[in-house]
A and B are shown apart, each in its own frame.
Chain A
Amino acid sequence: MTVRVQAAAFDTGAELNAFVKDRTDVGAVVSFTGVVRDTDGTLHQMEIEHYPGMTERAIAEIVTQVQSRWALADVLVIHRHGILAVGAPIMMVATASAHRADAFAAADYLMDYLKSRAPFWKKETTADGTAWVAPKDEDEAALKRW
């Protein structure tokens, strides 16, 4: 298991290659990358605030949950904070397992919980100023699926 909370940019492809390198015991690798989206062409940048200490603890707890629920060979979580440009990767998860069902389900669960239970807050800067991103009702509802 690898968890990294960092200000630095990362290369999704390089991370995924490193994640699968030299593994002969897995038949399935699933990855998800969250990217700064500019829905209507007005976004200048995104800033992500987090709670150092609690962030790492919360993510470790979420990873422990997926490892107990699914048969996983490995789990990777990277999440950035600080100022991010439009189009930049915000975060990624990768899961590896013998069969794809475990890797898919674990990645899906990780994303639902990272969205609503890891202490990150997104703030968008547009031509109109800055605004904190509000969570969606469906984000909280998604947790009930599990």
Chain B
Amino acid sequence: MNVMYFAWVRERIGLPQEEVQTEAVTVADLVAELTAREDRYAAAFADTSALRVALDQELSDFDAPLAGVREVAFFPPMTGG
């Protein structure tokens, strides 16, 4: 699946998006996999209460299943307007 990062999440991980091959069942499982990869991921995902997640461009949550999802995006709380 395509995993995207925005704002300071993108800066900490060092890239805007990447293709990830994963068997993760939920968003939280995916976060655990990414966190185990390298320190830069661990730094970005250290406090998931400070993060938001979107699945196929709809806001979701970390307990949500990933079955059928093509695009996952992680980002901080939004500051539009």
Chain B residues contacting A118 (CB-CB under 8 Å) are 78, 80-81
- In the complex the two chains form, is B80's CB within 8 Å of A115's CB? yes
Considering residues A53, A54, A133, which has the most beta carbons from chain B within 10 angstroms of its beta carbon? A54
- In the complex the two chains form, is B54's CB within 8 Å of A116's CB? no
Q: Does A70 have its Cβ within 8 Å of any Cβ on chain B?
A: no
Number of residues of chain A lying within 8 A (CB) of chain B: 26
- In the complex the two chains form, is B81's CB within 8 Å of A34's CB? yes
> Which segment, of B4-12, B29-37, B61-69, faces chain A?
B4-12
- In the complex the two chains form, is A132's CB within 8 Å of B8's CB? yes
- In the complex the two chains form, is B77's CB within 8 Å of A119's CB? no
- In the complex the two chains form, is B76's CB within 8 Å of A132's CB? yes
Q: Does B44 have its Cβ within 8 Å of any Cβ on chain A?
A: no
Q: Does B73 have its Cβ within 8 Å of any Cβ on chain A?
A: yes
Known contacts A51-B54, A54-B54; A135 and B7 CB within 8 A of each other:
no
Nearest neighbor of B8 in chain A, beta-carbon distance: A132
Chain A residues contacting B57 (CB-CB under 8 Å) are 51, 53-54, 57-58
Nearest neighbor of A136 in chain B, beta-carbon distance: B79
Q: Which of B19-50 contact A (CB under 8 A)?
A: none
CA distance A79 to B79 in the complex (A): 12
For the complex, would chain A's binding face be called helix, strand, loop or mixed by DSSP majority? mixed
CA distance A39 to B73 in the complex (A): 32
Q: How would residues 20 to 32 of chain A score, 1 for a CB under 8 Å from any chain B CB and 0 otherwise?
A: 0000000000000
- In the complex the two chains form, is B78's CB within 8 Å of A123's CB? no
- In the complex the two chains form, is B79's CB within 8 Å of A121's CB? yes
Q: Does A106 have its Cβ within 8 Å of any Cβ on chain B?
A: no
Residues of B at the A interface (CB closer than 8 Å) are 4, 6-8, 10, 54, 57-59, 73, 75-81
In the assembled complex, 11 residue pairs joining A and B whose CB atoms fall closer than 8 Å, in A order, are A49-B6, A49-B10, A90-B81, A91-B80, A91-B81, A116-B77, A117-B80, A118-B81, A119-B54, A120-B81, A133-B79
